[in-house]
């Protein structure tokens, strides 16, 4: 039973990180129907930014929680700026082109950002300090969950609640939903659609950066390539849950994380990815629009 | 109030509007009638900035708006009720109305307008927490008109509001159009295929063929014009 709980916690931790990245895919897809393949790179850039900031702060003698907070804030701002710029440079000029063009542009952007970090940093894995604080009280009460897992799952849960409130109740959230449902009509009630699209990229990138900082602290090392696999997995999670659906992305990510964790624990870690993608295929055969995806509505 | 002067609009390489000129004065109801594909919807799309014209001028209160973005056009006082209603299907009725008032900040007045709309259309009040996509066609049309009114437009553009509705709803919608015009002095630009109803409610009318205005005059004259009768009234 303890082993099961351990695997479950491991799966939820993974799933939380996938969810933070998957939200960026699903929100962007919901609004401009583009798979933003450069999104994984934004997450990687977030982790690198946090590493650099943490390094500088450590040299200046700071430690503990203030390093985590400062490093995360800078990483979020920096990644958000990258997301914003990528959209303006690579996607906005292609807004009225055929659907294939921005997709190719996205892949190009992804390769460019990977190689840019490769040149600017190094191809080696760099050690990442564990910025997350130790929570000793956890060990006294619950044995099966470690501090980092607890913080990752907890942070993600809080962010999900905040995001839901933002989407449901704020003016910007309503504008985002309206734009996703009918872009021209949103313009016709006075929504500045360009601003909505920029905001979507900024929010998605900020979430990915938080994911990057959390997972880098957990795993303890990063390189320029971490965005690729994480991006593919998060994208899988978004499709699994129904691309375009925000709760779907979270559900898909948690299901995917747990599947991987259980496959590793009960079968073999060699089969982790096999199980993840078999799950994707099975769900898409049974429900092509994903777990919580809605069928495209016919416009009259 | 609104003046289109030699407007030319294209869809890709196809020219839809060819030297279109229309004038609308403050406080009147004008109607634009014509067959399918004549360019009526494109005319409204050009005015609201979704499909900007390639040549010509559109003046609103004397100011050119042909290159202004759609959201700024809404802000200047023009709202469109589009063809097919275009309700946000997964927003509730209430949220759809909120979206109509997207550019307004006067929350107290917005509340008053919502109450006014619920008086006008009690069925919308009943369904306020229901998703827009679950409403019937007639209810959606009421909601589409209400959503446009929430912006407090000075000029209301209506694209085929009677399309696909049963006779009771058609009569209701036209009554409401007349009421909006007389009560709040909103100027109305009505595009219709139901030429008979449209000409009965309008003060003036334009007849459009292949992207050009072929006939214009008071609604009464058009109703009794032999060509109009043959081509659009089916008499």
What DSSP assignment string belongs to B170-223?
A: HHHHHHHHHHHHHHH--EEEEEES-HHHHHHH-SEEEEEETTEEEEEEEHHHHH
What is chain B's length?
235
User: At B235, is the pLDDT very low, low, confident or very high (cuts 50, 70, 90)?
Assistant: low
Q: What is the 3-state secondary structure (H, E, C) of A7-51?
A: HHHHHHHHHHHHHHHHHHHHHHHHHHCCCCCCHHHHHHHHHHHHH
Q: In chain A, which among 186-205 make CB contacts under 8 A with chain B?
A: 186-193
- B2 beta partners: B24, B60
Domain residue extents for chain B: 2-85+153-233
CB A49 within 8 A of CB A74: yes
Of B49, B80, B91, the CB nearest to A177: B91
Alpha helices, DSSP H, located in chain A: 2-32, 39-59, 65-86, 100-120, 136-141, 147-169, 171-181, 183-188, 193-219, 226-241, 246-262, 272-286
Asked if B206 contacts B213 with a C-beta cutoff of 8 angstroms, the reply is: yes
Residues counted in chain A: 300
Strand partners, B30: B189, B204
CA distance A131 to A66: 9
What are B38-49's pLDDT values in tens digits? 899 999 999 999
Residue A268's pLDDT is what? 87
How many whole angstroms separate alpha carbon A210 and alpha carbon B57?
50
**pLDDT of B148-189, one tens digit each?**
999 999 999 999 998 888 888 899 999 999 999 998 899 999
Question: Is there a contact between A74 and A53 (Cβ–Cβ < 8 Å)?
Answer: yes
Other residues' Cβ atoms within 10 Å of the Cβ of residue A154? 12
Mean pLDDT within B179-202: 91
Helix residue ranges, H only, A60-122: 65-86, 100-120
Exposed, middle or buried: residue B186 (CB in 10 Å: 0-12, 13-18, 19+)? Answer: buried
Per-residue pLDDT of chain A (300 residues; tens, 9 = 90+): 788 988 999 999 999 999 999 999 999 999 998 999 999 999 999 999 999 999 999 888 877 788 999 999 999 999 999 999 999 999 999 988 888 999 999 999 999 999 999 999 888 899 998 888 888 777 777 767 888 899 999 999 999 999 999 999 999 999 999 999 999 999 999 999 999 999 999 999 999 999 999 999 989 999 999 999 899 999 999 999 999 899 999 999 999 999 999 999 998 888 888 888 898 899 889 988 888 887 655 443
A190 with B103: Cβ contact below 8 A: yes
Closest CA to A237 of A225, A223, A255: A255
Nearest to B91 among A171, A178, A190 (CB): A178
- Residues paired with B7 in a beta bridge: B20
CA separation for the pair A49, A60 (Å, rounded): 17
pLDDT of residue A146: 84
How far A91 CA sits from the closest chain B CA (Å)? Answer: 20
- Are A189 and B147 in contact (CB < 8 Å)? yes
User: What confidence score (pLDDT) does residue A295 get?
Assistant: 65
Nearest CA-CA partner of A32 in A219, A220, A244: A244
Looking at beta carbons, which residues of chain B come within 8 Å of A177? 88, 90-91
β-partners of residue B9 are: B17
Q: For residue range A18-36, list pLDDT tens digits in order.
A: 999 999 999 999 999 899 9
* Separation of CA B11 from chain center: 21
The per-residue pLDDT for A196 is 96
- Residue A122's pLDDT is 86
How is residue B31 annotated by DSSP? E
CATH code, B2-85+153-233: 3.40.50.300
CA distance B60 to B47: 9
ipTM of the prediction: 0.91
pLDDT of B53-102, one tens digit each?
999 999 999 999 999 999 999 999 999 999 999 999 999 999 999 999 99
**Residue contact A188–B85, C-beta within 8 A:** no
Record: contact A174-B98, CB cut-off 8 A: yes
How far does the CA of residue B110 sit from the closest CA of chain A (Å)? 14
- A58, burial (CB in 10 Å: exposed 0-12, middle 13-18, buried 19+): middle
CB spacing of A187 vs B99 below 8 angstroms: no
């Amino acid at each position: 039973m303890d082993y099961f709980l351990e695997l479950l916690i491991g799966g939820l931790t993974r799933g939380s990180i996938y969810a933070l990245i998957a939200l960026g895919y699903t929100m962007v897809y919901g609004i401009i129907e583009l798979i933003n393949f450069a999104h994984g790179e934004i997450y990687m850039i977030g982790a690198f930014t946090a590493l650099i900031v943490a390094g500088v702060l450590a040299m200046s003698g700071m430690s503990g929680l203030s390093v985590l907070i400062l490093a995360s804030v800078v990483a979020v701002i920096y990644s958000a700026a990258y997301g914003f710029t990528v959209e303006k440079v690579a996607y906005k000029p292609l807004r009225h082109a055929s659907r294939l063009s921005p997709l190719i542009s996205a892949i190009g952007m992804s390769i460019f950002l990977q190689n840019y970090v490769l040149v600017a940093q190094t191809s080696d894995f760099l050690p990442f300090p564990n910025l997350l604080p130790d929570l000793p009280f956890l060990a006294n009460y619950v044995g099966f969950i470690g501090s980092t897992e607890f913080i990752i799952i907890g942070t993600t849960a809080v962010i999900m609640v905040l995001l839901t409130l933002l989407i449901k109740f704020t003016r910007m959230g309503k504008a985002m939903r309206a734009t996703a449902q009918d872009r021209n009509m949103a313009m016709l009630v006075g929504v500045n659609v360009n601003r909505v699209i920029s905001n979507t990229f900024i929010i998605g990138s900020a979430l990915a950066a938080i994911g990057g900082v959390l997972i880098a602290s957990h795993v303890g090392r990063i390189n320029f390539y971490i965005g690729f696999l994480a991006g593919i997995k998060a994208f899988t999670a978004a499709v699994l849950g129904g691309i375009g659906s925000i709760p779907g992305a979270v559900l898909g990510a948690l299901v995917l994380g747990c599947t991987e964790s259980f496959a590793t624990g009960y079968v073999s870690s060699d089969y982790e990815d096999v199980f993840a993608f078999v799950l994707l295929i099975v769900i898409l055969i049974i429900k092509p629009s994903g777990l919580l995806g809605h069928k495209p509505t016919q416009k009259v | 109030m609104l003046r289109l002067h030699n407007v030319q609009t294209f869809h890709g390489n196809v020219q839809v509007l060819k030297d279109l000129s229309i004038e609308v004065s403050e406080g009147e109801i004008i109607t634009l009638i014509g067959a399918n594909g004549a360019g009526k919807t494109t005319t409204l799309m050009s005015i609201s900035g979704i499909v900007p014209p390639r040549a010509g001028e559109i003046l609103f209160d004397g100011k050119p708006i042909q290159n202004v973005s759609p959201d700024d056009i809404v802000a200047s006082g023009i709202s469109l009720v589009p063809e097919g209603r275009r309700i946000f299907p997964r927003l509730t009725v209430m949220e759809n109305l909120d979206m109509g008032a997207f550019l307004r900040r006067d929350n107290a007045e917005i509340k008053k307008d919502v109450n006014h709309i619920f008086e006008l259309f009690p069925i919308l009040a009943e369904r306020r927490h229901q998703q827009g996509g679950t409403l019937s066609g007639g209810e959606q049309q009421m909601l589409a008109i209400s959503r446009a009114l929430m912006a407090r437009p000075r000029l209301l553009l209506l694209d085929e509001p009677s399309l696909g509705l049963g006779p009771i709803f058609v009569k209701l919608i036209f009554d409401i159009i007349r009421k909006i015009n007389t009560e709040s002095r909103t100027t109305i630009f009505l595009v219709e295929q139901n030429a008979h109803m449209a000409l009965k409610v309008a003060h003036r009318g334009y007849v459009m063929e292949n992207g050009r205005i072929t006939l214009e005059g008071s609604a009464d004259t058009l109703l009794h014009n032999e060509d109009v009768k043959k081509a659009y009234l089916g008499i």
